[in-house]
Amino acid sequence: MIPDDELRQLVRDAIARHAAAGGRAAEPNAAASFRLHASHGLLPLARGGDGDGACLIEPAVRCNHCGYCQSYGH
């Protein structure tokens, strides 16, 4: 556990950094940006294996549930 004095100093330092930045919001979290990026979303589309078993992208092969047909392909 962090001692109270050390915790207070950490808070003061954080406030000073925020004030020095002109009160602007911090840069977005990289992990959160990754999850929110459109290339990681899935489209509401049935997979090829949900129907006749053929891949929707490459109908000559069976669906292996890679999810490529449900995304923007990134």
For 11-58, the pLDDT digits (tens) are 899 888 888 777 666 666 666 665 667 777 777 777 665 667 888 888
Distance, in Å, from the CA atom of 60 to the CA atom of 48, rounded to the nearest integer, reads 11
**What's the token pair of residue 48?**
């090829």
For the question of whether the overall pTM of this predicted structure is more than 0.85, the answer is no
Q: With beta carbons less than 8 A apart as the criterion, state whether 34 and 6 touch.
A: no
Which structural domain range is residue 24 located in? 4-70
Which residues are bridge partners to 54 per DSSP?
Answer: 62
Identify the pLDDT of residue 73.
Answer: 66
| pLDDT over 80 at 5, yes or no | yes
| pLDDT over 60 at 74, yes or no | no
Distance, in Å, from the CA atom of 66 to the CA atom of 48, rounded to the nearest integer, reads 10
Which secondary-structure segment (H or E) carries 14?
helix 4-20
Q: Please give the tally of structural domains in the chain.
A: 1
